[in-house]
């Protein structure tokens, strides 16, 4: 019986590293603005001593407008990334076709940064030259640091940002729907919003590796300052 008959196939070792996905990034963008901007707006209008229904109406209008604007911004950013990638891909294809000697040199230079000698690149270059598409993808990844974006990424980004903004926006606005006076609602809104900002900042810091408590206090400080500034400015001017 051969030695190979006693060997067992083992699954390849998989390493798991956390990386902030595009979806997490979009949730962070939407929630951060959704918690902060409507809170500052509601605080500012409350400082102007207006009726409760006006605060609620203005808050809902801001959440609607803000979610659309933020979602559209995310969509346009995704489309720009998509267009940029394919413009660069077309340029790489043209250079591979018209200036192969320069592209070979660039491959050698790229591999030299990883400790691969020029003569060791010869079989690799031969393989890339047989497959121009693979050569293009190699240059896109290792020369330009670009990867082909998901075709549906722009729409998903827009939806995620918009929904996160709406969810975040109704947290500071919801107390105004349950209390009889804007001043009473503002106190509860401030407590609820600052708590939500702290929790959001904490988990954002943990997921992104930037420090949970540092991120939490930073998020609370920014949101609190925005709301306080809006309230006292409106009170001063009213």
pLDDT tens per residue, range 139-198: 888 888 778 778 788 888 899 999 999 999 999 999 999 988 888 898 899 899 888 888
| pLDDT confidence of residue 160 | 93
Sequence-ordered list of residues with C-beta below 8 angstroms from that of 68, at least 6 positions apart, any chain: 162
Alpha helix segments (H runs only) across the chain: 22-47, 52-98, 100-112, 122-130, 132-142, 153-173, 182-208, 212-237
- First-to-final CA distance of the chain: 93
| pLDDT confidence of residue 180 | 85
| pLDDT confidence of residue 150 | 80
Average pLDDT of the chain to the nearest whole number: 82
| pLDDT confidence of residue 3 | 43
Provide the pLDDT confidence category of residue 8 given band limits of 50, 70 and 90.
Answer: very low
pTM greater than 0.85 (yes/no) = no
Of 37-46, 171-180, 204-213, 215-224, the poorest mean pLDDT is in 204-213
| Predicted confidence (pLDDT) at residue 25 exceeds the cutoff of 90 | no
| Tens-place pLDDT, residues 10-24 | 444 444 444 447 788
| Number of helices followed by number of strands (H, E) in the chain | 8, 0
Provide the pLDDT confidence category of residue 238 given band limits of 50, 70 and 90.
Answer: low
Q: Which residues of 62-71 are buried (b: 16+ CB within 10 A; e: fewer)?
A: bbeebbeebb
| pLDDT confidence of residue 174 | 93
* CA-based nearest residue to 92, from 122, 131, 137, 150: 137
């Amino acid at each position: 019986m051969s030695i190979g008959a006693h060997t067992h196939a083992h699954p390849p070792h998989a390493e798991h590293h956390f990386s902030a996905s595009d979806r997490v990034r979009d949730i962070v963008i939407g929630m951060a603005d959704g918690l902060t901007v409507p809170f500052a707006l509601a605080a500012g209008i409350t400082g102007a001593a207006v009726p409760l229904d006006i605060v609620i109406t203005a808050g809902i209008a801001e959440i609607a407008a803000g979610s659309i604007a933020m979602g559209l911004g995310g969509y346009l950013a995704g489309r720009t990334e998509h267009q940029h990638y394919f413009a660069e891909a077309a340029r790489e294809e043209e250079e591979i076709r018209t200036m192969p000697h320069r592209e070979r040199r660039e491959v050698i230079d790229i591999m030299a940064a990883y400790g691969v000698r020029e003569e060791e690149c010869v079989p690799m270059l031969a393989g890339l030259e047989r497959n121009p598409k693979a050569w293009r993808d190699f240059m896109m990844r290792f020369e330009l640091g670009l990867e082909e974006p998901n075709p549906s990424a722009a729409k998903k980004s827009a939806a995620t940002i918009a929904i996160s903004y709406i969810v975040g926006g109704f947290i500071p606005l919801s107390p105004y729907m349950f209390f009889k006076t804007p001043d009473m609602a503002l106190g509860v809104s401030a407590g609820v919003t600052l708590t939500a900002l702290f929790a959001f900042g904490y988990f954002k810091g943990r997921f992104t590796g930037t420090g949970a408590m540092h991120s939490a206090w930073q998020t609370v400080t920014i949101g609190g300052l925005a709301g306080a500034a809006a309230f006292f400015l409106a009170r001063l001017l009213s």
